[in-house]
Amino acid sequence: MFKKSLSLALVGALIFTLVGVTPVLAKSKAEKEAERAAKVKAGIAKLGVGKDARIAVKLRDKTKLSGYINRAEADFFVMMDDKTGTSTEIPYPEVTQVKGHNLSTGAKIAIGVAIGVGAAALIILLILYSRN
């Protein structure tokens, strides 16, 4: 019985080793925060800077800010508030949530195509209506 149990345990360990299953270790709080800051930084970089880069930001202290990205640096970004005209320097690790309020390139193309198709359909209808 002992030999059979030992054989099964060895076969199981060998299978796990060959398959490459490693135990999953939980990330530390610092690693999670660094990962979140990197995601925020990538999102800010994707949105760009200028008055078209509109965002709403929620900070760790539950403060909510909205405006546009004026400048993006390595450790922080500067956000301009439309209502007050003040600029706020926000470090990436202080941000818990970012929502961009601008359209992606694909959405802009889709809107343009829809407008073009609608205009063409309207012109065709007007031509057909004027013939009758």
Predicted local confidence at residue 81, as pLDDT: 86
CB 95 within 8 A of CB 55: no
Task: Please state the φ and ψ torsions of residue 99, each to the nearest 5 degrees.
Answer: -125, 120
State percent of the chain over pLDDT 90: 2
For 13, the token pair is 């360990």
Which residues of the chain are under the pLDDT cut of 70? 6, 8-27, 101-104, 132
CA angle 110, 113, 119 (to 5 degrees): 140
Computed over its alpha carbons, how large is the radius of gyration of the chain? Answer: 28
